[in-house]
Amino acid sequence: MPIQTIRAQRLYRQIADQLLALIRQGEFPPGSLLPPERDLAQQLGVSRASVREALIALEVVGQVEVRVGHGVLVLERAAPVEAPVMHIASRQEPWAIDPEFESEIELDLDEEIPPFALLEARRFIEPETAALAALNASDADLEAIRAAYQRNVEDNRHGGNNMVGDRLMHIRIAEASGNAAYAMLLKHLLGHQYGVMFRRLQALFMSTDMPSRSQQDHSRILLADRGAGCRGRTRGDGGASRPRARGILR
């Protein structure tokens, strides 16, 4: 199978998985060298930085050995590597706090973030996740966003105050961005139960129509996604998604 040009969506994942598939199919047998980084970038239609990240991931899972100045050697493995490569590579060892920082920083993931600090952070992060999701979301991502929206509708219908569907939709959009750091941040910020400060603020000051207005904003996001789907594989306008996300978080 010849090397296929990579679609813009989640480059680093596609490159590693395609190279793994080519190795499995015998295009690059154990003991052979992969094409030079520059050639791979040209054939795949991506940057050399994206190719380099994919090659490092393949090395971390034991499929290749990167020899700077000499090429990338394909290795023999007793057990095959399963795709997705990046997912496996990122879990090779715990991502622990550096011992050098244990006495220097405090990191309490169970401590409630004050409500307005949480909102301020979301105002900076979520417009970018929405813009990336508009460009990168797969069909499976869009389906997950729609399912979260339906949960949002059901929550509002039954008077749920935890806004689980609302928060889940924002998390699904972050996952659809293709950026693991954004997704991790939003899962931490929104995946926790509302703390006592947020609940009290909500009870005293949140307008009664806020869940309904938020649901309407989410509905507009879905309409934009459907419009993108009608245009085939073309996704939405990332630039237009930023102000839409800022509007939801006003």
Given a contact cutoff of 8 angstroms between Cβ atoms, the answer to whether 52 and 64 are in contact is no
Q: pLDDT 10s per residue in the chain (250 long)?
A: 566 555 554 666 789 999 999 999 999 999 999 999 999 999 988 889 989 999 999 999 999 999 988 999 999 988 888 768 988 888 888 888 888 888 888 888 888 999 999 999 999 999 999 999 988 888 899 999 999 999 988 888 887 667 888 899 999 999 999 888 999 999 999 998 888 898 888 778 776 666 666 767 777 766 665 554 433 334 555 555 566 555 555 5
Do 61 and 126 lie in a common domain? no
Do 159 and 234 lie in a common domain? yes
Distance CA 13, CA 213 (A): 36
User: DSSP character for 236?
Assistant: -
Looking up tokens 């509905």 gives 219
Given a contact cutoff of 8 angstroms between Cβ atoms, the answer to whether 191 and 202 are in contact is no
Do 74 and 180 lie in a common domain? no
Total of domains in the chain: 2
Do 161 and 60 lie in a common domain? no
Provide the residue range defining the domain that includes 121. 115-248
Distance CA 168, CA 229 (A): 22
- Residue from 121, 130, 164, 140 nearest 229 by CA: 140
Do 244 and 136 lie in a common domain? yes
Number of other residues whose CB lies within 10 A of the CB of residue 118? 18
Residue 79 in any domain: the answer is yes
For residue 223, give both structure tokens: 């309409």
Residue 97 in any domain: the answer is no
Residue 153 in any domain: the answer is yes
Do 173 and 69 lie in a common domain? no
- Residue from 239, 174, 176 nearest 10 by CA: 176
Residue 96 in any domain: the answer is no
pLDDT of residue 200: 86
Distance CA 33, CA 242 (A): 43
Do 121 and 244 lie in a common domain? yes
Number of other residues whose CB lies within 10 A of the CB of residue 16? 29
Alpha-helical regions (H) of the chain: 11-24, 37-44, 48-60, 85-89, 115-136, 139-157, 164-176, 180-191, 196-205, 210-230, 238-248
Element (H, E) at 64: strand 64-67
Q: The domain that contains 204 carries what CATH number?
A: 1.20.120
Do 151 and 77 lie in a common domain? no
Q: The domain that contains 36 carries what CATH number?
A: 1.10.10.10
